[in-house]
Each structure stands twice: as C-alpha cells, then as structure tokens.
C-alpha cells in the first residue's frame, strides 16, 4: 500500500477560492450597472452586452481550440472582458463592430500574449480603443433615450457633458450620480458608465468580498477630484470635483478597469502610485487633450507602467532594516 501514497510539496491544504470564484464576483458586481444601462438605454443595451459577452467567450474558446490549448472559458474571465467592453460602448454601436472589438480584446490583446494574466494591457480597453480609432463617429454618438434592439438609426442623440460641444444644461452631481436628468432623459455616455450609483454598489460588493482593495479606486478618484480645480479647455467643468468624478468613465474605470489584476501592480505603494497616475492622466486628457474623455488611455498608459511600478515598489522584506 506504500506506493499508493501521494508525495508532494507542502502545503498540503489549499484555500477554497479559485480564479472563477473571483471572476464570478466581478460578474456579479457588474450586474447593477447592466440593469441601469437597460433602464436608461433600453433593450438595445442588453443586446450590446450579450453580443459582446458571447463574442468574447466565443473567440476565447475558438482561439484555444485552434491553438490546441486548454479551453478556459469556465474561468469567466472572458465574460468579464465582454461585459466591461460593452460598458464602454455607446448603445447605438452597430453589432458587427462589437464583434470586431471582441476579437481585438480577446485574441490580439489577451491570447496572443499568452492568455489569462499574461496580457500587459486591459483587453476590454484595447477593444474599445481600437473601435474608437477605427469607427470614431459610431463610437461617439450618444443616445439620450431608450433604444430598441433594431432601432439604433432612429435614436435621439447628443453630446456627452464632458464634451465642449455639449449644449444642454450641466447635470448636477446628484443627476450624474444616478445617471438620469431631472426631465427623465439619460445622460449621454457609454452603456455602463452613466450610473455611478450602480457602479458604486458593485464596487462595495468587490471590496466586501476582498476581490479589490481601496487603494487603486480611491487614489484614482481623489486625484481626478483634486485636478478638477485646474482650468482647462472646458470652463463649465472647472471646480466641480463631484461632477468630474461622477461623469464619464471615471467610476467604471476606477472600480472595474484599473483594478484588473493582470494589468495593475501587486504592491501597496505600486497600487497607490498607479491609481494616482490613472487619475492624473485622465484629468490631463480631459483638461487639455483632444478627446472629451481620457479614462481609456490613462489606464492603458498606466498598464504599461505596471511591471516597473512593481519593481520600484517592492515591499520591505520583514527585518530588512535593522532594529535600533
């Protein structure tokens, strides 16, 4: 019977939590924003999310089958990418473009670099950035009311409040928090980003489940709030820290995008610097850049810095500095 004993290296017990548990937590945390998007933008929002998720999962499985790798769609990471990318798209985006975005996100950004954890930039954001560069008009058309599944062409559209072309009344912080103007119209923006309340709810869940910690989101949000006092190209926004934080993609970015494990630092100080960096770059683009919003590029830029931040902020080894 001796030779039936398993011999392996310690530890011989492991914690219960797995990658798919973590990813499922993120999916759950993204749910409130999904409901909010359907509430504000109609059935087409749901269709956009579904197309995005199905094509992300599909590309992941397809690539792994062709590359003869283990199919890992059960870890839900492609579901998260699909949801996140959908949240950064306008509700009126043509469906084929979503599929192209999913291909760029999953195949080019994630799988070609080695799959889960090996990508050095956020797949959902690269998908969005690609679409923004390829289809700038479709990507910046913002519906202000609910849209039917096949009614994209008839949607009432307008600019986002962050844009200098915005002509409507500025939403109050309260309106921006819930994502709806007093007259009942939606605030122009991407699917998942307009309702800060829904994102915050998800964020609290992730914090409670210890999937994320406060360092990155808080550093990000505080930096954007502080930098809102700097005069920039859009005087209507200057000195409104709450509005700066609650409008556009900051909440979505700070809670769900910047905290992506694979592309953010693992050390305490690294996470803080990274959060501040994301906030600063976002603000600089908003204040002086050519785009109304800067979350996507801010996070992508900081993604690239992540390995360096980890190296520069190695924690002090216990006992490294001698006691007095």
Partner 1 sequence: MPKLTFKGGVHPKDNKDYTCYDKIVELEQPEFLVFPLSQHIGAPCEPLVKKGDRVYKGTKIADSAAFVSAPIHSSVSGTVTAIEPRPVPNGQMVNSIVIQNDFSDEEDPSVEPLDYKSVKPDDIPGIVRDAGVVGMGGATFPTHVKLSPAPDKKIDTVIVNGAECEPYLTSDHRVMLETPEELITGLKIILYRFGITNGHIAIEENKADAIELLTEKCAGEGITVDTLKKKYPQGGEKQLIYAVTKRKVPLGGLPADVGVVVVNVDTCTAIARRFMYGTPLIRRIVTLVGGAVTKPINYRVRIGTPVEYIIEKNGGFAEEPKKVIMGGPMMGQAQFRLDVPIIKGSSAILCLTEKEAELPEEEPCFRCGRCVAHCPMGLMPLYISQFSRLEDYDNCEKYNITACIECGCCSFECPAKRHLVQDIRRGKQEVMGRIKARQTAQKEGK
Binding footprint of partner 1 on the chain (CB under 8 A): 1-2, 4-15, 17-19, 21-22, 72, 75, 77, 114-118, 261-262, 264-267, 310, 314-323
**Closest to partner 1 by CB, 72 or 157:** 72
Distance CA 211, CA 103 (A): 27
CB 155, CB 145: distance < 8 Å: yes
Tokens of 297: 């590029």
In the complex with partner 1, which residue's Cβ is closer, 4 or 68?
Answer: 4
Q: Is 110 helix (H, G, I), strand (E, B) or coil?
A: helix
For the CB of residue 2, give the shortest distance to partner 1 in the complex, in Å.
4
Nearer residue to partner 1 within complex by CB, 60 or 293: 60
**Cβ distance to partner 1 smaller for residue 6 or 167:** 6
Give one word for 114, left, alpha or beta, with left for phi > 0 and alpha for psi -120 to 50: left
Q: What is the nearest approach in angstroms of partner 1 to the Cβ of residue 127?
A: 18
Query: 184 with 78: CB under 8 angstroms?
Result: no
Residue 118: CB minimum distance to partner 1, A: 7
* Smallest separation (angstroms) from partner 1 to the CB of 120: 10
List all residues 6 or more positions away from 244 whose beta carbon is below 8 Å from its beta carbon: 224, 225, 227, 228, 237, 250, 283, 286
Give dist(CA 155, CA 153) in Å, integer. 6
| Nearest partner of 282 among 216, 209, 236, 207, judged by Cα | 216
When the beta carbons of 119 and 247 are compared against partner 1, the nearer one is 119
Q: In the complex with partner 1, which residue's Cβ is closer, 5 or 133?
A: 5
Minimum CB distance to partner 1, residue 4 (Å): 7
Smallest distance from partner 1 to CB 124, Å: 15
User: Nearer Cβ to partner 1, position 115 or 202?
Assistant: 115
- The token pair at 296 is 């996507």
State whether residue 205 is helix, strand or coil: helix
Q: Rounded to a whole number, what is the distance in angstroms from the first to the last CA of the chain?
A: 56
Residue 64 beta carbon to partner 1: minimum distance, rounded to whole angstroms: 12
Identify whether the C-beta of residue 177 lies closer than 8 Å to the C-beta of residue 72. Answer: no
3-class DSSP assignment, residue 92: coil
């Amino acid at each position: 019977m001796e030779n039936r004993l398993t011999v392996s290296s310690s530890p011989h017990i492991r914690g219960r939590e797995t990658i798919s548990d973590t990813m499922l937590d993120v999916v759950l945390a993204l749910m409130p924003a999904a409901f909010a998007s359907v509430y504000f933008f109609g059935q087409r929002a749901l269709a956009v999310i579904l197309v995005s998720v199905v094509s992300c999962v599909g590309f992941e499985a397809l690539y792994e089958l062709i590359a003869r790798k283990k199919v890992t769609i059960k870890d839900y990471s492609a579901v998260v990418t699909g949801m996140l990318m959908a949240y950064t798209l306008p509700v009126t985006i043509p469906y084929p473009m979503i599929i192209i975005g999913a291909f760029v996100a999953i195949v080019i950004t994630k799988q070609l670099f080695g799959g889960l954890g090996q990508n050095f930039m956020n797949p959902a954001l690269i998908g969005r950035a690609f679409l923004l560069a390829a289809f700038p008009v479709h990507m910046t058309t913002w519906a202000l009311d609910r849209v039917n599944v096949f009614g994209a062409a008839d949607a009432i559209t307008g600019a986002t409040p962050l844009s200098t072309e915005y002509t409507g009344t500025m939403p109050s912080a309260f309106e921006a928090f819930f994502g709806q103007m007093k007259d009942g119209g939606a605030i122009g923006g991407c699917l998942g980003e307009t309702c800060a309340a829904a994102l915050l709810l998800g964020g609290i869940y992730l914090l409670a489940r210890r999937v994320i910690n406060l360092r990155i989101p808080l550093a990000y949000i505080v930096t954007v709030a502080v930098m809102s006092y700097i005069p920039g190209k859009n005087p209507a926004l200057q000195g409104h820290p709450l509005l700066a934080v609650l409008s556009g993609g900051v909440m979505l970015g700070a809670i769900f995008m910047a905290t992506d494990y694979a592309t953010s630092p693992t050390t305490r100080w690294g996470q803080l610097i990274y959060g501040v960096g994301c906030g600063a770059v976002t603000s600089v683009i908003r204040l002086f850049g050519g785009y109304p919003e800067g979350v996507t590029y801010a996070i992508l830029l900081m993604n690239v810095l992540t390995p360096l931040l980890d190296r520069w902020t190695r924690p002090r080894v216990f006992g490294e500095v001698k006691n007095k």
